[in-house]
A and B are shown apart, each in its own frame.
Chain A
């Protein structure tokens, strides 16, 4: 266990040294959050709300969604695996007496924690002070939000590991990554609009995909749209996805091991 903690701690420290990357990320996030706040104000116009969200809830959703999705930019598990497969360093990784998948998740926790502390919290505070973001409706909702955000993080890392491992079979995974992360993922994660806003048929596609677990579920819980039994059910779905993705990652890794031929040298 301590090996994984050390990996997470080292990854956290490493993130601290990439200051330019940190400030860039924050600047881009803030610009987009400002853009989306104005966009949603204009969309709502004089309306009291939409699709079961009142005005305050929808603005909270937009701010929280934009905040939660930041991990998609700062956790780079896909590229770390891809780089190791390409260079062959993956052989050394697999020889180590620790579990590769667990090590990758632990390593992702480093930048994840950094993003949470220095990027997400300040943004939430800033938009809270600006009066755009409202607090979660209740203490249990706040707790459930934290759980949902953590599970969303796990689902995100699980997805990234799968895409990264596909490098064992595909020489070039940038296209696949782009399609999953920015095409399909962006369409169904709910980062732009809550799934309730979508036409029913499209929302029902989104609800059977894992991407909603990353952004939509935590944001809808914070804004109060998902509450009580619905919220618990949504968290259970996240848990199921986390389990499925981790299991899929393990089997994929087992297959990859069989494929792996090292040139030595």
Chain B
């Protein structure tokens, strides 16, 4: 199939153009989002100036964690926003309209909300990544660049898959918008700090269940050449992302098959 001509791209492009017609608003919000995201790294910077380090992690190292988390999150948010309120499609019955279209339902829903505003956030993440990487003396070797790209891609898949899974739960519980808030805001925050500061139970959750530590902590340890940096978990983000995407797809399909309209 010619991707450029696919209905998804056409729909997404139409949405982007409609958004871009409010240009001042679009630019203002992109800048505001990016600035608001910078707050958390500034606050980490402030406490590090005072304390020197967080469990042995100094300034550039923490900024690296932040950057990996930020870029993955922003990439996922470019496409995942429409799923935040997927439950409303079920409750209102508007999902019926989507199901009758000659495109895949998921693509149709996603095309209705490509948020290019997140490009500003990606730019913030990449800037911090480059600055922090240089300050920490991380070599820009092919291996390191590949590790960063794979981690960020895996991270975006993991975050997207989690949003997708929670959205799929709407087929059973109807209301999930709030759960989305919990999962998204906390997983992102927990990923911004080195795993060592948490007790074993939280470390387990962040490595195996909501595996955001695979996106930030393990790759960063390897990039920085820290003890334990040779752990194979440094390469686990992409496989984990693929696995979670698969699980989300299964859940989604089961939900769709089970779906009965709420009627008019």
Contact of A50 among B36, B51, B54 (CB under 8 A): B51
**Chain B residues near A31 (CB-CB < 8 A):** 182, 186, 189-190
B33 located at the interface, meaning its Cβ lies under 8 Å from any Cβ of chain A in the complex? yes
Q: Tell me the A181-203 residues at the B interface (CB within 8 Å).
A: 182-183, 186-187, 192-193, 197-199, 202
Closest chain B residue, CB of each to CB of A20: B178
Q: Which residues of A sit under 8 angstroms from B178, Cβ to Cβ?
A: 20-21, 23-24
**Taking CB as reference atom, which chain A residue is nearest B29?**
A175
Task: Provide the bound-state CA to CA distance between A174 and B33, in Å.
Answer: 10
A43 touches B47 (CB 8 A): yes
Q: Is B197 in contact with A24, judged by CB distance below 8 angstroms?
A: no
Given contacts A21-B178, A186-B39, A193-B47, contact A176 B32 (CB under 8 A): yes
CA distance A51 to B50 in the complex (A): 9
Q: Is B181 in contact with chain A by the CB < 8 A criterion? A: yes
Q: In the assembled complex, which residues on chain B have CB atoms less than 8 Å from the CB atom of A50?
A: 50-51
Assess whether A257 is interfacial by the CB under 8 Å rule: no
**Contact A187 to B51, CB < 8 A, known contacts A172-B25, A175-B25, A179-B32:** no
A187 pairs with B175, CB closer than 8 A: no
Select the stretch in A34-42, A131-139, A145-153, A220-228 that faces chain B.
A34-42
Q: Within 8 Å of chain A (Cβ to Cβ): is B10? A: no
Say whether chain A's binding surface is mostly helix, strand, loop, or mixed: helix
Report A-chain residues with C-beta under 8 Å of the C-beta of B175: 20
Q: B149 interface residue, CB < 8 Å from A?
A: no
Q: Mark B145-188, 1 if CB is under 8 A from A, else 0.
A: 00000000000000000000000000000010011011001100
- Which residue of A has the minimal Cβ distance to B198? A38
CB distance from A257 to the nearest CB of B (A): 25
In the assembled complex, which residues on chain B have CB atoms less than 8 Å from the CB atom of A44? 51
A32 partner residues in chain B, CB cutoff 8 A? 186, 189
If over half of B's interface residues share one DSSP class (helix, strand or loop), that class is named, otherwise mixed; here it is helix
Is A178 engaged at the interface, CB distance under 8 Å to the other chain?
Answer: yes
Q: Does B46 contact A (CB under 8 A)?
A: yes
Complex alpha-carbon distance, A10 and B151, angstroms:
50
Mask: chain B, 177-209; 1 = CB below 8 Å from A; 0 = not: 011011001100110010011110010000000
> CB-CB < 8 A to A175: which residues of B?
25, 28-29, 31-33
Number of chain A residues close to chain B: CB under 8 A: 37
On whether the beta carbons of A28 and B186 are closer than 8 Å, the reply is yes
Closest to A199 in B: B49
The reply to whether the CB of B140 lies closer than 8 angstroms to some CB of chain A is no
Contact A187 to B43, CB < 8 A, known contacts A20-B178, A27-B182, A38-B197: yes
Assess the B42–A35 pair: CB atoms within 8 A.
no
Contact assessment for A43 and B25 in the assembled complex, using a CB-CB cutoff below 8 Å: no
Report Cα–Cα, A199/B178, bound state, in Å. Answer: 37
Partner of A202, one of B28, B35, B46, B199: B46
A183 close to B186 (CB less than 8 A): no
Give bound CA distance, A45 to B53, whole Å: 10
Known: A35-B190, A172-B29. A183 touches B36 (CB 8 A): yes
How far is B25's CA from A183's CA once the two chains are assembled, in angstroms? Answer: 17
- Least CB separation from B36: chain A residue: A182
Interfacial chain A residues near B32, Cβ < 8 Å: 174-176, 178-179, 183
Known contacts A39-B197, A193-B46, A24 near B29 by CB under 8 Å: no
Contact of B185 among A28, A38, A41 (CB under 8 A): A28
Taking a contact as CB atoms closer than 8 A, the residue among B28, B35, B54, B186 that contacts A43 in the complex is B54
Query: A171 at interface (Cβ–Cβ under 8 A)?
Result: yes
Minimal beta-carbon separation of A64 from chain B (angstroms): 17
Cβ of B145 to closest chain A Cβ, rounded Å: 30
Q: Which residues of A contact B51 (CB under 8 A)?
A: 43-45, 47, 50
Q: Does B55 contact A (CB under 8 A)?
A: yes
By a CB distance below 8 angstroms, the chain A residues around B193 are: 35, 39
Is the pair B28, A172 in contact by a Cβ cutoff of 8 Å?
yes
Q: Which residue in B36, B39, B43, B181 is a CB contact (below 8 Å) of A24?
A: B181
Which of A48-88 touch B at CB < 8 Å?
50-51
Interface contact B189-A24, CB-CB below 8 Å: no
The chain A residue sitting closest to B187, CB to CB, is A31
**B44 → chain A closest CB, angstroms:** 8
Q: Could you jot down 11 A-B contacts, CB within 8 Å?
A: A20-B178, A28-B185, A39-B54, A39-B197, A42-B54, A45-B55, A172-B25, A179-B36, A182-B36, A186-B36, A198-B50
Contact surface of A with B, Cβ cutoff 8 Å: 20-21, 23-24, 27-28, 31-32, 34-35, 38-39, 41-45, 47, 50-51, 171-172, 174-176, 178-179, 182-183, 186-187, 192-193, 197-199, 202
Chain A to chain B: the 6 pairs with minimum beta-carbon distance, closest first: A24-B178, A175-B32, A42-B197, A182-B36, A175-B28, A172-B25
